[in-house]
Amino acid sequence: MVPVSAATRGADSPVPPLQAAGSSLRTSIRAIDDGGVTVYKCSIRRTAPPGTCCRHRKTRGDDSMTRDEKTYWERTATSRLGRRRLLGGAALAGAGAAAFGLVGCGDDDDGGGNGGGGGTTPSPGATGTTAPQATPTLAPKKGGTYTTGFTGTIGGVAPFSSNYGGVYPIALCYNYLFVYSLFNPGLGYVYDLATKHKAEADNVTWVFNLRPDAKIAPNKYGIAERPLDADDVKASFDFIADKANGTNAYAPFAQYFEKWDAPDKQTFRLITKKPYAFTESVLSHNLYCPIVPKEWIAKGPAQTKTDIVGAGAFMLKELTEGQQDRMEPNPNYWDKGRPYLASVVSKVYADQVTYRTAFQSQQIDAYVPQHKDEAQELMKAEKDLIFRTGPTLNYNSFWMNIKQKPWDDPRVRRAVNMAINRKEFIDIIGRGDGYPIGPITYAFEAEALPKDELAKLQPFDPAGAKKLFQEAGVSEFKFQHPTAGNVADYVTIFGRQMQAAGVTAKAEPLDAGTWYGQYQNSSLTASLSLNQQYNTPDLAVTWYRTGGITGNDRFSTGFSDPEVDAAIDKAASTLDAKQRATAYHDLQRLIYKKDPAFINFFGAIGYAVTRPYVMNVPDYKATNLNYHMVKDVWINKA
């Protein structure tokens, strides 16, 4: 793992360093006996010399920040050391629907599926933090295969637009400028293609210095095994910014990024249209900004969807839709000595039952339980499993296409929201674990609306819902859903709740591939939506922006409101964290007034189990970090 550092001061830069020499992170672990199950929870704290600054929340008595989710400029201006509390213990990068890695349909799960869960040890020489290790630190061994699984489909590996199971090999085989998460402030920036970066005093100019040794992996396409450079970054950004290409990151690029260039081979420069609080998060998002060789981009989307040519830690060696993908180390990888694994395999399962059976029969090394009861069952059957639990960014939603009836009627959308009993979803699906949420999930502590206000904005009122349905002349409606994960449980509860409000909700199950294709093209009538991890409040509320979650009408409900668009821009462009939190509260209240076409059920708690021989498995509350850190995973078998 590359040593973790923060954006550094250049000779002509007004930005002070984020992290001083001598700072360190301390990780502690607690084993909690919970009904016969050992649950590992971790806490992290930093020690540093006086006067250093970090991306931690300020201490009590300093009311200038509401949480640690600060902008670059706020972080670099901070001179007091603070402390940050991990949200409820071990921070998981997504259990449950996250295993899909979907932009409009179910994110990047890693918790115990693709790349997450399990004990971890600090990488030698790293100045960041990793999740806790329940066993003594051991020297990593080379070789071995790490096998994971998920339910759904791969959906291709187009680097800028794939967002189902294909996101796993994309993240492992391509590079990013750096990897960073709001939820792991103590980790700093994990640099990849970039070696450092800075923001200029104008708050819109970003400069990235690139490493000279990130060489393209061997390939069968005649693309030279040369180092990536600034021209490749520019070519990647040019492709992302073209609306016709239907990329995942088009929305933030179109709204906030003005221009970019390559002053020389090792320097890339980005200029935003205005200050944007989440520039770093966009650039390091695993679905948004992989850096792809310009020659490979020139091959066209039809080619890049079927294979990968990159300079990341791994090379794609097999891609069989409906079965699995397999990756092996890139011998040209810049971080010499890594990855440790001889191969990484991700298997595809049609449903949760076959997925769990594969884990129980030792076919895969990690698994994402649907709830705590399932996790306890697995732990009792296999005593040495490593079990992690903690908050996640995951949730499922109900998506309505307002270009089709009856969803063009705001009364119908409002009635659905009123007919949903979120407590029942939490009690049955979450086994009592979870939180009611609005457009922004509970994990964003400052930006999420308070629970009492949510109860008023989205009341459970079946009688009121029934009246609205009757006024709109609606006695039944149909909706589609994928046959993957625990979606069937959502369908059953949702149908029963709609029936209590006087309407028949007709479920139309589709295999994951068919559903995903129609969802991506916005041709479904309505659907249970499996969401990715929206790693910033801005991304979460992009569902309500004109053009939808990707900004180019992929997965779009058709909802459009200029007042909402303006409020989204205002919040994302506010650099002061406290003012930004207030702006997001006001935005969510406005969204409810507009009868949104995208309604969230509840915020989930994450669970993950891995076998004890899988070492260094990343356990962060951020899929981009978990995927990047797979290069540190190793197998501890004789």
Query: How far are the Cα atoms of 81, 83, 86, 87, 135 from residue 62, in angstroms, in the given order?
Result: 11, 12, 19, 20, 38
pLDDT above 90 (res 207): yes
Residue 136: predicted pLDDT: 53
Question: How far is Cα 125 from Cα 203, in angstroms, rounded to an integer?
Answer: 33
- Between CA 328 and CA 373 the distance in angstroms is 35
Range name among 160-164, 252-256, 455-459, 462-466 with the lowest pLDDT average:
160-164
In 82-204 the beta strands, taken as DSSP E runs, fall at 145-151, 178-179, 190-191, 194-199
> What is the 8-class DSSP label of residue 632?
G
Q: How confident is the model at residue 21 (pLDDT cuts 50, 70, 90)?
A: very low
Backbone angles phi, psi at 467, to 5 degrees: -65, -45
What is the structure's pLDDT at 392? 84
Instruction: Give the span between the Cα atoms of 403 and 559, in whole angstroms.
Output: 9
pLDDT for 87 equals 23
Report pLDDT for 60: 25
Residue 25, pLDDT above cutoff 80: no
Please tell me the least confidently modeled range out of 298-302, 370-374, 480-484: 480-484
Categorize the per-residue pLDDT at 394 as very low, low, confident or very high, splitting at 50, 70 and 90.
confident
The whole-number average pLDDT for the span 487-512 is: 95
Q: Say whether the peptide bond before residue 263 is cis (omega within 30 degrees of 0).
A: no
% of residues, the chain, pLDDT over 70: 78
Q: What angle, rounded to 10 degrees, do the helices at 352-360 and 372-381 form?
A: 30
Q: Which residues pair with 208 in a beta bridge?
A: 197, 268
Tell me the C-alpha distance between 540 and 531, whole Å.
Answer: 10
The H or E element that residue 263 is part of is: strand 257-264
Query: Could you tell me which residues come within 8 angstroms of residue 422 by beta carbon, excluding any fewer than 6 positions away?
Result: 436, 458, 460, 601, 602
Residue 145: which residues within 8 A CB-CB, separation 6 or more?
341, 342, 343, 344, 345, 635
pLDDT tier, 240 (very low <50, low <70, confident <90, very high otherwise): very high
Which segment of 3-7, 211-215, 331-335, 449-453 scores lowest on mean pLDDT?
Answer: 3-7
Across 116-131, average pLDDT = 29
The two three-digit tokens of residue 294, written as one number: 């310009």
Mean pLDDT of 65-84: 33
Mean pLDDT of 282-289: 94
If you average pLDDT over residues 280-306, what whole number do you get?
96
| 175 close to 243: Cβ distance less than 8 angstroms | no
Q: What is the pLDDT of residues 524-534, one digit of tens each?
A: 999 998 776 78
- pLDDT reading at 634 higher than 90: yes
Coil, strand or helix at 495: helix
Rounded CA gap, 143 and 636, in Å? 10
Residue 19 CB contacts under 8 Å (≥ 6 apart), including other chains: 5, 6, 48, 52, 53, 54, 127, 188
CB environment 467-501: b (16+ within 10 A), e (fewer): bbbeebebeebebbbbbbbbbbebbebbbebbeeb
pLDDT averaged over every residue in the chain:
81
List pLDDT tens digits, range 336-387: 999 999 999 999 998 899 999 999 999 999 999 999 999 999 999 999 999 9
Structure confidence at residue 90 (pLDDT) = 28
Q: What local confidence, expressed as pLDDT, does residue 529 receive? A: 85
**What's residue 530's pLDDT?**
76
* pLDDT range class, residue 536, cuts 50, 70, 90: very high
Tell me the residue length of the chain. Answer: 638
CATH architecture of 396-605: Roll (3.10)
Rounded to an integer, the average pLDDT of 103-121 is: 36
More confident residue, 34 or 217: 217
561-612 pLDDT, tens per residue? 999 999 999 999 999 999 999 999 999 999 999 999 999 999 988 899 999 9
Contacts of 630 (CB under 8 A, 6+ apart): 115, 146, 172, 313, 314, 339, 341, 344, 618
Higher pLDDT, 260 or 517: 260
The answer to whether the beta carbons of residues 97 and 485 sit under 8 Å apart is: yes
pLDDT of residue 613: 97
At a CB cut-off of 8 Å and minimum separation 6, what does 298 contact? none
**In the predicted model, what is the mean pLDDT of residues 222-226?**
98
- Mean pLDDT for 129-137 is 43
List the chain domain ranges.
Answer: 396-605
pTM of the model: 0.79
Range scoring the smallest mean pLDDT among 32-46, 211-225, 279-293, 521-535: 32-46
For residue 321, the tally of other CB atoms under 10 A from its CB is 15
How far is residue 146's CA from residue 605's CA, in Å, rounded to a whole number? 25
**Amino acid 486: pLDDT:** 76
Residues 384 and 610: beta-carbon distance below 8 Å: no
Q: Token digits for 258?
A: 């003005």
39 phi/psi in degrees, rounded to 5: -110, 125
Joined together, the tokens standing for residue 96 give: 């449950």
DSSP for 321-337 reads TTTEEEEEE-TT-SSTT
**What is the average per-residue pLDDT within 390-396?**
85
Q: What stretch of H or E contains 420?
A: none
Q: Which pLDDT score, from 0 to 100, does residue 469 have?
A: 98
Q: For 500, how many CA atoms within 13 A lie in the half-sphere containing its CB?
A: 16
**Residue 255, pLDDT score:** 95
pLDDT at residue number 488: 87
Q: Is the per-residue pLDDT at 54 higher than 50?
A: no
pLDDT at 50: 27
The pLDDT of residue 532 is 67
User: According to the model, what pLDDT value does residue 393 have?
Assistant: 84
Q: What does DSSP assign to residue 175? A: B
Three-state DSSP class for residue 338: coil
Buried b (16+ CB within 10 A) or exposed e, 277-289: bbbbbbbbbbbbb
Higher pLDDT, 528 or 48: 528
Q: Examine the pLDDT at 39 and tell me if it is beyond 50.
A: no
Of 172-176, 216-220, 399-403, 526-530, least confident by mean pLDDT is 526-530
pLDDT score recorded for residue 49: 28
CA–CA dist 250, 319 (Å, integer):
26
- Alpha-carbon Rg for the chain, nearest whole angstrom, is 23
What is the DSSP code string of 79-107? -S------TTSS--S--GGGGG-BTTTB-
Q: Record the tokens describing residue 577, joined without a space.
A: 């964290």
- Sign, CA dihedral 70-255-531-145, equals negative
Overall average pLDDT of the 237-245 stretch: 97
Q: Give 106's strand partners.
A: 102
